[in-house]
A and B are shown apart, each in its own frame.
Chain A
Amino acid sequence: MSSREAILNSIRGIHRDLKPLPDVPSFGIKSDLVKDFTTSLIGNKAEVMDSSAFEFWLKSSGMNRVFSAIPEYKSYSTVTLPKDPHDLENLELAILEGQFGVAENGAIWLDDNQLPHRAMPFITEHLVLIVPKGHLVENMHQAYQKIGKDHAGFGLFIAGPSKTADIEQSLVIGAHGAKSLRVVLV
């Protein structure tokens, strides 16, 4: 007997009463989505700005190796997309689009459609996500309603820069992934 059959058979041999699966309500109370989203992101050590502040920052940032997946900022791209993500090793800044944001925790959803390489938001030294103000939801229940049955090979919520507190619980930003996250609300 294969281990698969052995495991399934031993489960089937255990008497269990069927317990009901509850429906999950969407909860949520009408709130100021932009304000809550911004507060959450700042709490997660991200920065939030509008597009003019972002462009001002971008021009003065002195970043040399930039990749933008967004046509509007293509003129700032200095790096052409490599075939192998390892070649993004020295990327300083990636500008990507977020599909939508979640006000309760600052999480931003992206999937393969926004990611030229799945490694990009992690391997880049700094990350910028552009999120339309009209694409905000209150909480994670509404977020999964929005994702619905979408079928992407990979999707993720990003809620802040890479961080750790593994040394004496002292918060340090920039563990392995992006050292900063800027969210541009448009």
Chain B
Amino acid sequence: MSHPQAAAEFLKDQAKAKWHDETLWFVRDKRDRISKTIPEWEDLRNLASEIKDHTLSRLDFYLEEFEKNALKNGIQVHWAKDAEEHNRIVLGILQKKDCKAIVKSKSILTEECHLNPYLEKNGVEVVDTDLGERIVQFLHQPPSHIVLPAIHLKKGEISELFHEKLHTEKGNEDPTYLTQAARIHLREKFLQARVAITGVNFGVAETGEFVVCTNEGNADMGVHLAHVHIACMGIEKLIPRRSDLGVFLRLLARSATGQPVTNYNSHFRSPSPGKEIHVILVDNGRTAQLAREKFRNSLKCIRCGACMNTCPIYRRSGGYSYGSTVPGPIGSILSPGLDMKKHSTLPFASTLCGSCSDVCPVKINIHEQLYEWRQEITKTHGELGKSLSMKVASGIFKSPLAYKISGSLMRSALKNLPKSLIYHPINSWGKGRNLPETPELSFKEWYKRNRS
């Protein structure tokens, strides 16, 4: 389904769409307010951008540094060139441990690799432990937002779901009550799991440690009780120095949810005695994106979701309308690199207003890259309807006489033709838009009458 079709689907429930729009704008507003309390905010964005630019320019070196130091710390390091290899490595570790059930905290990378269905097919029960992720997992849905996975659902729907799955009281929609039910349900899973999977927010080359940030504490509950911790990390998550964390931790939570820092920020360097930590370094299209110079700096993304919260299209079309693991503006510049045909409508799901670039904590020029992708896509796939109308327009603009005649024809046509013809399904521009009032005269005619 194309983005406009999927967005139309989302907009059918107008009250919910309005709520979605307003709620995400509220998060954006919180981000604005807290960023204004830091006088050096813009300096931090510049530093973060430069640190990431530098890291990408020496990515091979920092990957080897990270590996060397992680191995020294007793971490086992694996490399996966694609999603399939990543999934195979995870399954291999589980099979070696004879493990049939795991807990997993939020990891967009494992969503990208479709790890859950793969493990389930191989007889492993996967429990997502982030509350929002558990909710969408119960519904067999992917997250609709990378930071707020269940933002497309209302509490009534969650109450119904929990009544069915966790036997909560019918009709009790109190978020505290529902969260408590999930806490009891998930605690049992935490206590039983022998392997826990997490994502990685930052990998530090200098120390071979990695950092995982949560508010719920679910990543830590999982890994500290399990015997084996598997951390799945995209190769672009690296930063050179431990002190760089100061810059990124100041930016991440403020940009994501408008809070000064996440409540738990865990630095994993060595396993507890007798336990294991595995890190899987995953490429899956990242080196290909690195090779595309115009799109390279999309790899600086730290997955805060600020571009989604601010985007007028995302807020009014919902995460699922994008049909890609990472939705919104950043998803629309990452996904075409993975599959240009499948995601060909995403770079057009933007007004190019530039708000995404303005809020991005690592200063990715998102709106400019959207524009660049449009050109790549039009070159490759073309666009029949538009190219035909452009050819006609070009003919009209070349001839002054044709221009004059077609102008007066259009003015009378728009006034006199029935609305049903103008707002015809073929004219997709007319959907959700009104044509302007047509003037009586062209500018040339008006000038002749009034000024000459």
Whose C-beta in chain A lies nearest to the C-beta of B253?
A: A105
Contact, CB under 8 Å: B54 / A11: no
Contact, CB under 8 Å: B244 / A24: yes
Chain A residue contacts of B235, Cβ below 8 A: 7
Task: Give B139-163 as 1s and 0s: 1 = Cβ < 8 Å from A's Cβ atoms.
Answer: 0000000001111011100100000
Given contacts A19-B53, A167-B178, 20 further A-B contacts (CB under 8 A): A3-B81, A4-B79, A11-B63, A16-B57, A19-B56, A20-B50, A21-B51, A21-B240, A24-B243, A118-B224, A143-B246, A144-B243, A144-B245, A153-B269, A155-B267, A159-B262, A159-B263, A162-B264, A177-B217, A177-B218
Contact, CB under 8 Å: A44 / B259: yes
Contact, CB under 8 Å: B224 / A160: no
Inter-chain CA distance A4–B221, complex, in Å, is 31
B85 adjacent to chain A (CB < 8 Å): yes
Chain A residue contacts of B58, Cβ below 8 A: 18
Whose C-beta in chain B lies nearest to the C-beta of A145?
A: B243
Inter-chain CA distance A40–B79, complex, in Å, is 40
- Categorize the interface residue count of chain A: 35 or more
Contact, CB under 8 Å: B267 / A159: no
Contact, CB under 8 Å: A140 / B249: yes
Which residues in A have some Cβ–Cβ distance to B below 8 Å?
Answer: 2-4, 6-8, 10-12, 14, 16-22, 24-25, 27, 29, 40, 43-44, 85-86, 89, 102, 104-107, 117-119, 122-123, 139-141, 143-145, 147, 151-170, 172, 174-178
Within 8 A of A (CB), among B263-283: 263-272, 281, 283
Whose C-beta in chain A lies nearest to the C-beta of B213?
A: A157
Whose C-beta in chain B lies nearest to the C-beta of A13?
A: B291
Stretch at the interface among B130-138, B334-342, B395-403: B130-138
B260 adjacent to chain A (CB < 8 Å): yes
Contact, CB under 8 Å: A177 / B220: yes
Chain A residue contacts of B224, Cβ below 8 A: 85, 117-119, 122-123
- In this complex, how many residues of chain B approach chain A with their Cβ under 8 Å: the count is 86
Whose C-beta in chain A lies nearest to the C-beta of B262?
A: A159
A–B Cβ pairs within 8 angstroms, 30 of them: A3-B80, A8-B63, A11-B60, A11-B63, A11-B290, A21-B54, A24-B47, A44-B260, A123-B224, A140-B245, A140-B261, A144-B243, A144-B245, A153-B269, A154-B269, A155-B267, A157-B261, A159-B264, A163-B215, A164-B179, A165-B148, A166-B130, A166-B179, A167-B178, A172-B175, A172-B179, A174-B183, A176-B187, A176-B217, A177-B264
